[in-house]
C-alpha cells in the first residue's frame, strides 16, 4: 500500500464575500491511496483563516500520513487528531479504496441516485444589486430555503433585503436563514437579533465571534431568534469538552462542517451529543471540491435529516472536478447517468 498527495487551487467563478473578506481562490489537497491495483481518493480541504489545522506543519503532517499509510486508518486518525482536514481525507480515501466504486463513500438511496437531499440556496455578501440578483436566482431555481451571509454591509440594507423576500413569501413558503460569521459585538447582538426575529427567520448562525462562551450562553438564553453554533465547534476535540460547551451555551442548533470538526467520526460525536440534549443540527460543506463535497453529501444522506443542508457549493468553481452531483429544484442529487471526470483526476494525481 502506498499513498501520495497533491495540492490543488480552486478558482471561484465570482468572488465570494464573507465577513472575513472576499475569497477568489481556495486551496485544497487530495490524498490518493493505492493497493493491489485499486485506488482510493480523499480530500483534505483545510480552510485558511478558519480551520484549526491552518498551521505551518500542515503539509508536513500530510506527508507523514502518506509515508506511514501502512499504519492503517484507525492508527492514523488518532495521530492526526488535531488536523480535522487530514482526518476526513484519510477516512474518505480508505472508504474509497475499500469500495467497489471509488466514488461511493457511503451507500444509500442518495448514492444510488434514488433520493435527493434538500439544501439551502447560499447568498454571498456584496453590494445590494449583487445580493438581490443572487436572491432572485435562488428563488427562480426552486429553493425553499435561502441562507444569506450578513455582517459585512450596512445592517439596515441587509434588513431591507430580507424584508423584501418576506413581503413576497411567507415563512411556510421560503425558510430564511442568516449567517453572521461572528460579525456582531456582544453588546449589540441581542438588539440586532430582536430586529431580525421580526422577519420570521429560521435561525442565525454564529452571531458573535467564537470563544466568548458565557456571552453566547447569555445570548442563547435571551434571544427571540434561534441560534446555531458553527465556528464555535472548531478545535473542540475531547468529548468532555464538546459536552461542556453544549451544556454551557445550550444552542438551538449546531452546524457541522466535517472538514473542520474532525471528519465523519467527529461529526458523529457532535450529532450524538446534540441528540441527547435535544439540540437540532445540519451539515454543511466548507468549500471543498466535488471530491470532498461528494463524501460529505453521501455521509449526510445516511443521517436521514429532514432539514435543508448546506451542500450547494459544487458549482462555485471554474475548475472543479466534474461529478454526477447536481442541484435541481433546491435539492442535491447524485445523477447515476453522469460520470466523474477521471481523466482530470489522473492529470492531477
pLDDT of residue 226 exceeding 80, the answer is: yes
Q: What number is the average pLDDT over the span 232-258?
A: 97
Question: Across all residues in the chain, what is the average pLDDT?
Answer: 95
**pLDDT the model gives residue 298:** 98
Q: Are 40 and 93 in contact (CB under 8 A)?
A: yes
Considering the candidates 26, 138, 147, 149, report the single residue annotated as catalytic. 149
Q: What number is the average pLDDT over the span 212-223?
A: 98
Of 99, 94, 157, 98, residue with least CA distance to 125: 157
Q: Are 41 and 291 in contact (CB under 8 A)?
A: yes
DSSP track, 5-34: EEEEEEEEEEEEEETTEEEEEEEEEEEEEE
259-271: per-residue pLDDT in tens? Answer: 999 999 999 999 9
**Which residues does residue 326 pair with via DSSP β-bridges, in sequence order?**
333
**pLDDT the model gives residue 237:** 93
85-129: per-residue pLDDT in tens? Answer: 999 999 999 999 999 999 999 999 999 999 999 999 988 877 788
- Architecture of 2-102 per CATH? 2-Layer Sandwich (3.30)
Q: Are 254 and 277 in contact (CB under 8 A)?
A: no
What letter does residue 226 receive in the DSSP assignment? -
The rounded distance, in Å, linking the Cα atoms of 282 and 203 is: 12
What letter does residue 39 receive in the DSSP assignment? E
**What residue segments make up the domains of the chain, in order of their start?**
2-102, 117-344
pLDDT band at 20 (very low <50, low <70, confident <90, very high): low
**pLDDT the model gives residue 19:** 59
Going edge to edge, which strands form the sheet with 2-18?
Answer: 2-18, 21-35, 38-44
**pLDDT the model gives residue 348:** 81
3-state class percentages of the chain: helix first, strand second, coil last, to nearest 5: 40, 25, 35
**pLDDT the model gives residue 98:** 96
Q: Which residue has the cell 440586532?
A: 192
Q: How far is CA 120 from CA 41, 50, 221, 276, in A?
A: 27, 22, 26, 26
Considering the candidates 32, 138, 242, 257, report the single residue annotated as catalytic. 257
- CATH H-level, domain 117-344: superfamily: Enolase-like C-terminal domain (3.20.20.120)
The rounded distance, in Å, linking the Cα atoms of 182 and 200 is: 21
**pLDDT the model gives residue 124:** 82
C-alpha cell read off for 35: 493497493
**pLDDT the model gives residue 128:** 80
More confident call, 136 vs 244: 244
pLDDT band at 346 (very low <50, low <70, confident <90, very high): confident
Known active-site residue 257: yes
Sequence-distant (≥ 6) Cβ neighbours of residue 129 within 8 angstroms = none
H or E stretch at 84: helix 84-98
155-204: per-residue pLDDT in tens? Answer: 999 999 899 889 888 999 999 999 999 999 999 999 999 999 999 999 99
The rounded distance, in Å, linking the Cα atoms of 179 and 324 is: 28
Amino acid at each position: 500500500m502506498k499513498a501520495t498527495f497533491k495540492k490543488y487551487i480552486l478558482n471561484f467563478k465570482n468572488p465570494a464575500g464573507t465577513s472575513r473578506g472576499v475569497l477568489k481562490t481556495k486551496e485544497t489537497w487530495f490524498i490518493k491511496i493505492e493497493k493491489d491495483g485499486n485506488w482510493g481518493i480523499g480530500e483534505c480541504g483545510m480552510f485558511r483563516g478558519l480551520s484549526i489545522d491552518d498551521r505551518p506543519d500542515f503539509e508536513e503532517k500530510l506527508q507523514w500520513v502518506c509515508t506511514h499509510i501502512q499504519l492503517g486508518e484507525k492508527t492514523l486518525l488518532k495521530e492526526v487528531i488535531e488536523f480535522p482536514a487530514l482526518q476526513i481525507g484519510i477516512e474518505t480515501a480508505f472508504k474509497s479504496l475499500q469500495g467497489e466504486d471509488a466514488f461511493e463513500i457511503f451507500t444509500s438511496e442518495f448514492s444510488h441516485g434514488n433520493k435527493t437531499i434538500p439544501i439551502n440556496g447560499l447568498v454571498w455578501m456584496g453590494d445590494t444589486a449583487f445580493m438581490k440578483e443572487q436572491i432572485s436566482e435562488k428563488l427562480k431555481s426552486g429553493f425553499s430555503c435561502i441562507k444569506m451571509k450578513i455582517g459585512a454591509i450596512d445592517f439596515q440594507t441587509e434588513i431591507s433585503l430580507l424584508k423584501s423576500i418576506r413581503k413576497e413569501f411567507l415563512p411556510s413558503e421560503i425558510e430564511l436563514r442568516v449567517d453572521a460569521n461572528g460579525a456582531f459585538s456582544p453588546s449589540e447582538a441581542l438588539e440586532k437579533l430582536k430586529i431580525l426575529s421580526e422577519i420570521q427567520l429560521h435561525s442565525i448562525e454564529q452571531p458573535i465571534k467564537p470563544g466568548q462562551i458565557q456571552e453566547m450562553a447569555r445570548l442563547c438564553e435571551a434571544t427571540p431568534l434561534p441560534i446555531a453554533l458553527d465556528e464555535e465547534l472548531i478545535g473542540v476535540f475531547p468529548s468532555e469538552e464538546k459536552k461542556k460547551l453544549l451544556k454551557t451555551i445550550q444552542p438551538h442548533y449546531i452546524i457541522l462542517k466535517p472538514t473542520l470538526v474532525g471528519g465523519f467520526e467527529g461529526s458523529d460525536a457532535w450529532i450524538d451529543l446534540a441528540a441527547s440534549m435535544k439540540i437540532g443540527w445540519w451539515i454543511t460543506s466548507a468549500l471543498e471540491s466535488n471530491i470532498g463535497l461528494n463524501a460529505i453529501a453521501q455521509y449526510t444522506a445516511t443521517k436521514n435529516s429532514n432539514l435543508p443542508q448546506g451542500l450547494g457549493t459544487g458549482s462555485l468553481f471554474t475548475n472543479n472536478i466534474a461529478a454526477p452531483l447536481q442541484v435541481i429544484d433546491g435539492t442535491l442529487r447524485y445523477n447515476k447517468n453522469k460520470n466523474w471526470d477521471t481523466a482530470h483526476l489522473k492529470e492531477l494525481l
